[in-house]
A and B are shown apart, each in its own frame.
Chain A
Amino acid sequence: MSARQFFRSPWRTAGYILLVIVTLLWLVPFGQALLTSFRSYDDIMIRGFFSLPKTLSLNSYREAWERGGMRYYLPNSFIITIPSLILTLFFSSLSAYALARFRFPGNRAIFFLYVGGTMLPFQVLMLPVFRLTNALGLYDTYWGLIAFHTAFQLGFCTFLLRNYMRTVPGEILEAARMDGCNEFRIWWQIMMPLTLPALAALATLEFTWIFNDYLWAIILLRSDHLKPVTAGLATLQGQYVTDWTVIVAGALIATIPTVIVFIFLQRYFIEGLTLGATK
């Protein structure tokens, strides 16, 4: 339908205008955050939000980056997210393969154990995981956090990969088996390449999830210089209680990585979401 055809109906046009208005309202928080971050707090305080900004500058960003500590919070987030991501994908693809491709007693039970875990209100695990991490000597290290993320995300990843692996035609695997391939090779050389689209989607989704975690970071880490960006932001807020321009600038810095993922891997991100819910 061409645009002209589309707008011929007045109802449709009215609906369209409504849609445009709602969409713009939806974007207001972003615009407001961007505007704020380039102004100085005094400017907003004295002249009000709707004044013409006196000056626009990157000062708030500089402040959040340098003194607010974003310059080490941000790398920390990557140090935590990337190993967690790799480990959880690796382990879940192992277990997903077993659950998808073998009939054995307990298959269904283990599967439900994983699915049930995804739905768990994870706060329930807070105290014991804190104790466990402490007992293992992993408290206040990156590895404490990585271990938990790896384990907790296993549930969702296994669930999703297992469903995906089931859609792979059995003949391919059977042929390989006939050729004398061992199961480990079948998993690695045949199944994994076939699962790549799902892995990509899952990786994208999991990246944003782990990256955006806040609760576990504040529970399993103590040192300021190990904190990821979410926990760092909360510290930043405690530090700059009054200076909203710096807080907002920090918040925007914290979103850059996920926004990049979002822009470049949008397709996978959406696929991941829908895979999880509709399969």
Chain B
Amino acid sequence: MARRTVLYRLSPYLFLIVPLIIYCIWVVGPMLYTIYLSFTNWDGVSSPAVIGWRNYQKLFRDPVFYISLTNNLKWMLCFITIPVVGGLALALALNRNIPGAKFFKTSFYSPMVLSLVVCGLIWSWMYHPAKGLINESLRLIGLDALAKGWLSDRRLVMWAIIAVGVWRQVGYVMVLYLAGLQGVDPTLVDASRVDGCSNWQTIWHVILPLLSPVTVVVVVISIIDSLRAFDLVSVMTRGGPYYSSSVLANFMYIEAFNNYKMGYGAAISVILFILSAVFIFLYLWRVMQTEMEY
């Protein structure tokens, strides 16, 4: 019996050992290595030499860094507002048995199965200044003045790319809220109706508070997704024209793989990591709270 206990105690480690090793080699180790690289001048060819904080000093003086950071913030702002409100509204509307609900739901979450590369390509074509659907439509209805170079105007390009992200994100948020609504006890809703609440009051005072755990998750996921944004920018503009649509991940990619400043690129990733870490911890904290409920 004693042996059994020892073995029993040992078994979780036996289960964990292989996956954990793989995970450490490919994810945890590289993460730490990035931090090391950010203090070197590695150019991808010679061997890295430690140069202290120089990469960070350079980074904080680099205007492109601030452009990219601002763009990430714009992205974040859009992501935690438009898809959340839109997705919630859709979920509330489609949670009831309205005619064609299934069709509506499918339409909104279908963009989610497309890869970001495909989204980027399809939308690049939509945005094509001469023959794209958007400008052609605007011209058709006589709004020639509004037919812009969506991806070439530095004031528009970032919003144009974010719009594609939003297009894809709304359905995702809707699905999450729909799932959340499944968990809302209908008797509570009925009770509020009996108490004379209007539809809006019910939503505001009963349903929304009940959905708040979902909202937290949605917001955190949206923030993380906006920090990770890369594919759309890479496919649609590569950060151009002149960095106006650059985001951190893309800036890092260009510095590391285009300008061969691997150490500098690593410093950018570390900043990116620190930014996300704040939200990751927020998320972990929430997970921990649910853990306590067990």
Contacts and interface: CB of A to CB of B under 8 A. Distances in A.
A124 interface: yes
B115 A3 contact: no
B213 A278 contact: yes
Contacts of B23: 113-114, 117, 151, 154-155
A278 B176 contact: yes
Interface string B262-294: 100110011011001001100110010001001
Interface string A259-279: 101100010011001100110
Interface stretch (B26-34, B51-59, B74-82, B147-155): B26-34
B133 interface: yes
Interface in A37-60: 44-45, 48-50
A251 B123 CA distance: 11
Contacts of B122: 29, 32-33, 248, 251
13 contacts: A16-B98, A102-B12, A107-B12, A110-B20, A121-B276, A123-B269, A150-B26, A154-B19, A212-B117, A212-B118, A230-B118, A252-B118, A261-B113
A267 B121 CA distance: 28
A125 interface: yes
Given A26-B107, A94-B15, A214 B231 contact: yes
B175 A270 contact: yes
A15 interface: yes
A45 B230 CA distance: 31
Nearest to A95: B19
A215 B126 contact: no
A208 B118 CA distance: 13
Contacts of A23: 103-104, 107-108
A120 B8 contact: no
Contact of A123 (B20, B97, B110, B249): B249
Contacts, number: 258
Given A119-B279, A123-B252, A262-B110, 11 more contacts: A29-B167, A95-B20, A115-B283, A115-B287, A117-B23, A124-B273, A215-B230, A261-B113, A262-B113, A270-B175, A278-B213
Given A94-B18, A98-B15, A148-B26, A212 B115 contact: yes
A201 to B, nearest CB: 12
A242 to B, nearest CB: 11
Given A154-B23, A254-B118, A127 B93 contact: no
Interface of A: 1, 3, 6, 15-16, 19, 23, 26-30, 32-33, 36, 44-45, 48-50, 91-92, 94-95, 97-99, 101-102, 104, 107-108, 110, 112-117, 119-129, 131-132, 147-148, 150-152, 154-155, 158, 166, 183, 187, 208, 211-215, 219, 230, 233-234, 237, 244, 247-248, 251-252, 254-255, 258-259, 261-262, 266, 269-270, 273-274, 277-278
Contact of B253 (A6, A126, A251): A126
Contact of B113 (A32, A112, A119, A259): A259
B116 interface: yes
Given A6-B98, A124-B273, A125-B27, A255 B235 contact: no
Contacts of A254: 115, 117-118
Nearest to B35: A124
Contacts of A258: 113-115
Nearest to A236: B121
A120 B276 contact: yes
Contacts of B27: 117, 120, 125, 151-152, 154-155
Contacts of B201: none
Contact of B176 (A155, A213, A277): A277
B162 interface: no
B131 A112 contact: no
Given A244-B128, A277-B214, A212 B116 contact: yes
Contacts of A273: 172, 175-176, 179
Interface string B162-183: 0000010010100110011001
A19 B104 contact: yes
Given A44-B131, A244-B128, A251-B122, A121 B16 contact: no
Contacts of A233: 117-118, 121
Interface stretch (B62-70, B187-195, B202-210, B221-229): B221-229
A270 B113 CA distance: 11
A98 B172 contact: no
B9 interface: yes
Interface in B205-261: 213-214, 217-218, 221, 224, 227-228, 230-231, 234-235, 249, 252-253, 256-257
Contact of B26 (A3, A26, A50, A151): A151
Contacts of A219: 257
B22 interface: yes
A277 B217 contact: yes
Contact of A6 (B99, B218, B265): B99
A28 B33 CA distance: 45
B34 A127 contact: yes
Contact of A124 (B31, B93, B128): B31
